[in-house]
Amino acid sequence: MTLLNIEDLSVHYGLKTVLRHVSFTVHQGEGWVIRGVSGSGKTTLARAIAGPDKYTGGLNISYDTRSNLPAKTLFVESWYRFTNLEGDRNFYYQQRYNHQQRRDTVTIARELELYGQTYALDHTRLQALITALDYDRVLDEQLFEISSGEHKKLQLIKALWLRPQLLIIDQPYTGLDVKSRGRLNELLNAYAREGGTLILVSNDTELPACIQHFAVMKNGGFELADAALVFEEKTLKPLPEFLKEPPQYTAPTLIDMKQVHVQYGDKQVLKDIHWQVNAGERWLLQGHNGSGKSTLLSLITGDHPQAYANDIKLFGVQRGAGESIWDIKKRIGLISPELHWYFDANATVLQSLASGFFDSNGLYRQLRYMQKQQLNELLKFLDLYDVKDELLTTLPLGKQRLALLGRTIIKNPQLLVLDEPCQGLDQQQTQYFNKLVDEISKNGVTIIYVGHFETQLPACITHKLVLQDGRAIENTRQ
């Protein structure tokens, strides 16, 4: 039975054509994956199928009236968008660590309860999904407190609890650790066995067995493809001269933590952490979703108030000795999924990169001549110069992330904190960025790199810290 039939579908945003004459058919119970480089039209196609994006051409969904699954199409976005109790999305980055403001959004448990009530869903099935994705431990947390991987799990639990006849998931594995990816594939296979039809928008290779149909998007066009997707390796341009200069270190040891603990009420998030990072070292930070990585990084970047209650020296200065959060941030370049969520939606690409000079959420100051020179060099180096005046949010997700990566390195800081920097990037962009990190590392910059997969890491890594349930279980030199 034909569930989805698309004929000559096109999508235009103003004068820009994003999808061009797409035609294909999906039968009930099939599993599809749609691949392609960032900006090729993958997400636009998914949104057109799920609605309400406008399009020209034919698009028809014919649900099976005999199926036990709801006659619905559900599109799971790459990011989870949520509001506070007043219906506002105006969160700020440090808010997730501020205990006094922890009642601004509903808890995960309440969010799921409301979702179940809306669609009259069976709670027995919900508990099975929570157990499979190891989600019990965050049920009492609020939406803005959890990590990007835990947000993704929430999206997936909702989708698989609803079990629509057609399920479309954009970037299903974003932010998930290795174990969670395997569990997700098992759940997707179970959904397919129940008669569900699945379309994944993903360039990942470790796919569920139910995926048997492959397509690739190229410049808004749609082509059937083999299982393997081969990307051309992107050549790295010569590094801008200012990034060849060594950082101006203010101390030989940048981070010195002794017996660090972080606790919310009875819940311990970090337990007895000892960690020293010296100038020029390049650390890999790993751990499963919820292991404490984001909290540990927030102590370093100055965003967590409990830093003052611990024995922590940053750049040779004891926390609480009078230095401001901006004294810390001016020495650090940071990129993380959470920073991306909270970034100024009205900033252009140029403003986004330039804000890295001032550690601001958008550009609010005039640039000096040398800063303008560095900005232009970096825009050209990252192939973003032609879109520098466009709003960051209008770019494909991968290009948005590249722009924020540029923001991270623009001031050539002492310490780069790269928290899952390639989340949302395709394979080609990931290889390109990691080569960039390797090239930048030659100037002696200190790096903390958070990444789940050994095959998608820079070659320059020299040290490794692994967290499990808030404790360091590995602290080694590579």
Written as tens digits, the pLDDT of the chain (478 aa) is 999 999 999 999 888 899 999 999 999 999 999 998 878 899 999 999 998 778 999 999 999 999 999 999 999 998 766 554 444 444 444 445 554 445 556 899 999 999 999 999 999 999 999 999 999 989 998 887 787 788 899 999 999 999 999 999 999 998 888 889 999 999 999 999 999 999 999 988 889 999 999 999 998 999 998 876 666 777 888 999 999 999 999 999 999 999 999 988 788 899 999 999 999 999 999 998 888 998 999 999 988 888 888 999 999 999 977 778 888 999 999 998 888 877 888 999 999 999 999 988 877 788 999 999 999 999 999 999 999 999 998 888 778 888 998 999 999 999 999 998 887 677 777 888 899 899 999 999 999 999 877 668 999 999 999 999 999 999 986 6
Asked if residue 246 and residue 383 are part of one domain, the reply reads yes
Extract the tokens encoding 66. 């005999």
Asked if residue 219 and residue 245 are part of one domain, the reply reads no
The residue assigned the tokens 């395709």 is 426
DSSP per position, 352-380: HHHGGGTT-SS--SPPPHHHHHHHHHHHH
Side chain identity at residue 43, one-letter code: T
For residue 229, being part of any structural domain is answered with no
Asked if residue 146 and residue 172 are part of one domain, the reply reads yes
Of the three residues 193, 224, 255, the one that is the final residue of a domain is: 224
Q: Which CATH number is 313's domain given? A: 3.40.50.300
Measured CA to CA in angstroms, residue 45 lies from 59, 75, 203, 216, 425 at distances of 11, 11, 15, 11, 18
CB-CB contact of 61 with 25 (8 Å):
no
Tell me how far apart the alpha carbons of residues 267 and 84 are, in angstroms, rounded to a whole number: 23
For residue 172, being part of any structural domain is answered with yes
For residue 235, being part of any structural domain is answered with no
For residue 412, being part of any structural domain is answered with yes
Pick from 300, 243, 244, 241: nearest CA to 273: 300
Of the three residues 194, 224, 254, the one that is the final residue of a domain is: 224
Asked if residue 246 and residue 206 are part of one domain, the reply reads no
Asked if residue 140 and residue 33 are part of one domain, the reply reads yes
pLDDT tens profile 105-158: 689 999 999 999 999 999 999 999 999 999 998 999 888 778 778 889 999 999
Chain centre to alpha carbon of residue 453: 14
Asked if residue 181 and residue 116 are part of one domain, the reply reads yes
CB-CB contact of 310 with 257 (8 Å):
yes
Tell me how far apart the alpha carbons of residues 400 and 317 are, in angstroms, rounded to a whole number: 34
Q: Element (H or E) spanning 156, and its range?
A: helix 148-162
Tell me how far apart the alpha carbons of residues 135 and 153 are, in angstroms, rounded to a whole number: 8
Pick from 438, 427, 437: nearest CA to 406: 437
Extract the tokens encoding 223. 């082509």
CB-CB contact of 156 with 172 (8 Å):
yes
Domain interval for residue 131: 2-224
The residue assigned the tokens 């799990």 is 153
Return the pLDDT at 455. Answer: 64
Tell me how far apart the alpha carbons of residues 71 and 65 are, in angstroms, rounded to a whole number: 8
For residue 233, being part of any structural domain is answered with no
For residue 420, being part of any structural domain is answered with yes
Tell me how far apart the alpha carbons of residues 452 and 467 are, in angstroms, rounded to a whole number: 12
For residue 472, being part of any structural domain is answered with yes
The beta strands (E) that lie in 186-281 are given as: 197-201, 213-218, 221-224, 253-264, 267-278
Asked if residue 320 and residue 196 are part of one domain, the reply reads no
Q: Taking the CA atoms of the chain, what radius of gyration do you get in angstroms?
A: 23
Of the three residues 224, 249, 277, the one that is the final residue of a domain is: 224
Cα angle at 192 between 186 and 195, to 5 degrees? 150
For residue 284, being part of any structural domain is answered with yes
Return the pLDDT at 401. Answer: 85
Asked if residue 276 and residue 165 are part of one domain, the reply reads no
Domains contained in the chain, number: 2
Pick from 192, 227, 225, 235: nearest CA to 206: 227
